Structure formats: C-alpha cells, structure tokens
C-alpha cells in the first residue's frame, strides 16, 4: 500500500488500529428496558444495510431537526412551532435506535470491524453538540446565556472526559445514568415543549423557588461534580501503560491540553467581545466551538485506538484563532462575519480530516465505508440478551 504526504495515519497506527479490541464495562438503568426493543428492531433490518450507514443517517437526522429549531430560535429565546419540537424528539429517538442497533447489525451480518467504534464515537461527538443545543432551545435557556454556555460545554467536556479515562485505562466505563438516560430525558423535554409550550419551563418549582428550566443545569452541575471526582481518581490511580501512563505511554494529564485550549478560547472570546457576539448569536457560537471540540474528541478516540500520542494543537484551531486575532486588533472585521467564517472553516476542516482517515482505514482493511457484503444467511439469528446494549452500540462490531 502506498502512503502519501496527505495521509494522517502512519502505517504503524493503521496496524495497531486493526489489532484494537473494544473493551468496556458497566450497564445503564434503561438497558434492560430498551434491550428487547433493540433486539426486535435489528431483526427487521435488511442484511444489506451497512451499520455505518445507519449511524450516519441517524446523525444527519439529529443535525437536521436541531437546525430547524435553531432557524426558528437562533438566540434560544424564541418560540419555535410545536411540530419542530415533535420532529426533534422523534429524530433523537430514531438516532438513539439506530445508534443502539448498528453494532447488533454488524454482528448479525458478520461485518464486524474495530473501525465501527471509531466511526460511532466520531458521530456521537458531533451529535452531542446538536443535542445539547436542542434542549437549550426547548427550555428557552437563552434568557440565561451564562447557564446556556455552561450547559452545552459541560456536555461536550464530559463526553471528552469519558474518552480521556478510556485513553488512560484502556476501557470505556458506563455509569448507571449515562447517554441513554440523557437522550430519553431530552426526548421527554421536547415533547413537553411541543404540547404545553416552552413557557411551562418558566414556572417555578415549589419550595426551592427555581425555574424548571434551570433544573437540567443543576442536574448537570451535580453530575459534573461527581464525574470530575471520578476522573480525578482515575488520573491519580494512573493508567495501564508503563509507569502508570496512558495506553500510548504518555502522561495521563496530556489529554487535558487540547480540550483546555478549546474551552479557554471559547470563554475568553465570549467575555472579551465588544459586540456581544455570544449573547447575540449563542446558537451559532456554540455550533462553531462545538465542531472544534468534536474534532479534538475524534483525535483522542483515534489516539486511544491506535495507542498513539495525542497532538496538542490542530489545524481546526485556526477557526477560533480568527475570532481571537480579530479581537486582538480591536475588532477590525465585524465579529458576526468572522464567527460565520470560523464555523464554515471548522466544518470543512473536520470533514476533510474524517474523509482522509476513513479512506485510509478503508484502503488498509479492504472494506467500504457504507457498503457491506453480508456473511450471514437471512435465516440466521443471534442471541443478544446477555450482551450490554452500550457494549453493542459503541463497540467495534461494525464495518466502515
């Protein structure tokens, strides 16, 4: 195989990736409840349907339905039509169903590959941005811009931290209240906003005298404290590498640098903006920096699966750098224009990165991204009941 200067992964990384074995532990509260539904659903899927095609279609649905909400409420303070919330709720449920069944479909068709884990987590890193933004619009959190900033970035950071501890320990751990529970809660919130209106979230909770829309923030704050304690404990115990290092033999603290740069830039630019760029365009701002965080997370997942050192800086940081430099030169260009440039550049950079990585892996493993050749007979059935839903959904049992 010939490698060019445009390739992102080295031959050694590709070799280690092909040898990667998925490792996870833990089960969430809703796994036993939803497992029968997922097991039934996967039997209705055609054997020619590629698992990665399921994943990417679910992501497209989530992005589309959320962007509809953003169109009607770009500042997260407007009232989108009820059908938009219903569409967003149904879209998220469809995404969750496809995300839960793609691993099962790969096992069913005999198209398992460690690359499915990479593709799955990559899509999840993007969907996290849109899902967290959607719930902010559903409860009109734009009225509390600081809390909206916290809500979205805490979700992005916690997703990153989950893979940070995986990079350290070599195993992805699930808690009792994890992504499935969060997604189901958000689906319920969207339906409530659709049938009762978003004003219902402005009502105050008896006794504590706090608006209902701030409850998710308080819950996220509480969960973040618990998870921060857990992640600190993981770091203190050390990793599975030599002398307590990561799987790549690097410092267990090194993954904090990339996400730290993104968060610091996003907060600094937000605070120092003379045109109140975040307050006036919160959804656009969060999307721009969320895409940057998504690529940083993708690179962390890839570093874990290839047991490689994580790069601290990346070309996608040029996007936020445009905003930073524009402020440094006293807002030479309108910040709204620069923010759009930042978003467009970041999306293009992420797509360019993903395209090259996927093409390299497909060429190396001699597989196709969205097409498979089923190895199982149509009558063949597979028992899933004793396998964790999260292990199936997020495992490498898919083919690119």
pLDDT, position 283:
95
The mean pLDDT of 227-232, rounded to a whole number, is 75
Residue 234 confidence (pLDDT) above 80: no
Triad 24, 26, 27: Cα angle to 5°: 120
pLDDT in tens, 36-92: 998 999 999 898 888 999 999 999 999 999 999 999 999 999 999 999 999 999 999
Residue 350 confidence (pLDDT) above 80: yes
More confident residue, 158 or 284: 284
Which tokens go with 123? 């899509």
**Percent over 70 (pLDDT), the chain:** 92
The mean pLDDT of 212-235, rounded to a whole number, is 77
**Mean of all residue pLDDT scores within the chain:** 85
Q: Is residue 199 very low, low, confident or very high in pLDDT (cuts 50, 70, 90)?
A: confident
The mean pLDDT of 144-171, rounded to a whole number, is 89
Q: Is residue 229 very low, low, confident or very high in pLDDT (cuts 50, 70, 90)?
A: confident
pLDDT, position 298:
95
pLDDT, position 113:
80
Residue 121 annotated in active site: yes
Q: Is residue 6 very low, low, confident or very high in pLDDT (cuts 50, 70, 90)?
A: low
Residue 214 confidence (pLDDT) above 50: yes
Catalytic annotation, pick one of 121, 281, 304, 364: 121
pLDDT, position 393:
45
The mean pLDDT of 98-111, rounded to a whole number, is 86
Residue 398 confidence (pLDDT) above 60: no
Q: Is residue 128 very low, low, confident or very high in pLDDT (cuts 50, 70, 90)?
A: very high
pLDDT, position 27:
73
Strand pairing class (24-25; 172-173): parallel
pLDDT in tens, 27-38: 778 888 888 998
Residue 316 confidence (pLDDT) above 80: yes
The mean pLDDT of 233-260, rounded to a whole number, is 85
Q: What domains, with CATH codes, occur in the chain?
A: 34-370 (1.20.120.1760)
The mean pLDDT of 340-357, rounded to a whole number, is 95
The mean pLDDT of 207-228, rounded to a whole number, is 78
């Amino acid at each position: 195989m010939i490698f060019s200067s445009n390739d992102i992964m080295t031959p050694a990384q590709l070799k280690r990736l092909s040898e990667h074995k998925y490792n996870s532990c833990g089960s969430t509260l809703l796994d036993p409840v939803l497992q029968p539904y997922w097991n039934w659903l996967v039997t209705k899927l055609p054997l020619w349907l590629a698992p990665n095609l399921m994943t990417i279609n679910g992501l497209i649905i989530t992005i589309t339905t959320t962007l509809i909400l953003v169109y009607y409420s770009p500042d997260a303070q407007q009232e989108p039509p009820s059908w938009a919330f219903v569409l967003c709720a149904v879209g998220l449920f469809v995404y969750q169903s496809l995300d839960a069944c793609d691993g099962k479909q790969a096992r069913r068709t005999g198209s398992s590959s460690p690359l499915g884990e990479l593709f799955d987590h990559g899509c999840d890193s993007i969907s996290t941005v849109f899902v967290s933004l959607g719930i902010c619009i559903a409860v009109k959190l734009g009225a509390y811009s600081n809390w909206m900033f916290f809500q979205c970035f805490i979700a992005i950071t916690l997703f990153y931290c989950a893979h940070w501890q995986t990079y350290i320990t070599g195993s992805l751990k699930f808690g009792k209240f994890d992504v499935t529970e969060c997604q189901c809660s958000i689906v319920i919130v969207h339906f409530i906003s659709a049938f009762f209106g978003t004003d219902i979230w402005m009502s105050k909770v008896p006794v504590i005298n706090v608006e209902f829309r701030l409850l998710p923030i308080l819950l996220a704050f509480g969960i973040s404290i618990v998870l921060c304690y857990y992640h600190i404990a993981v770091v203190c115990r050390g990793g599975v590498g030599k002398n307590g290092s990561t799987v790549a033999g690097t410092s267990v603290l090194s993954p904090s640098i990339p996400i730290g740069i993104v968060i610091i830039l996003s907060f600094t630019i937000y605070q120092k903006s003379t045109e109140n760029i975040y307050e006036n365009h919160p959804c656009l701002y969060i999307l721009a920096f969320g895409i940057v965080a998504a690529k940083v997370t993708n690179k962390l997942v890839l570093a874990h699966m290839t047991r490689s050192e994580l790069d601290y800086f990346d070309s996608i940081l040029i996007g936020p750098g445009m905003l930073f430099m524009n402020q440094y030169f006293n807002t030479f260009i309108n910040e709204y224009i620069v923010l759009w440039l930042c978003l467009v550049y970041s999306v293009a950079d992420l797509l360019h990165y993903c395209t090259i990585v996927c093409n390299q892996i497909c060429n190396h493993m001699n597989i196709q991204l969205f097409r498979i050749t089923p190895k199982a007979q149509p009558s063949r059935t597979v028992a899933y009941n004793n396998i964790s839903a999260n292990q199936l959904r997020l495992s490498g049992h898919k083919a690119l």
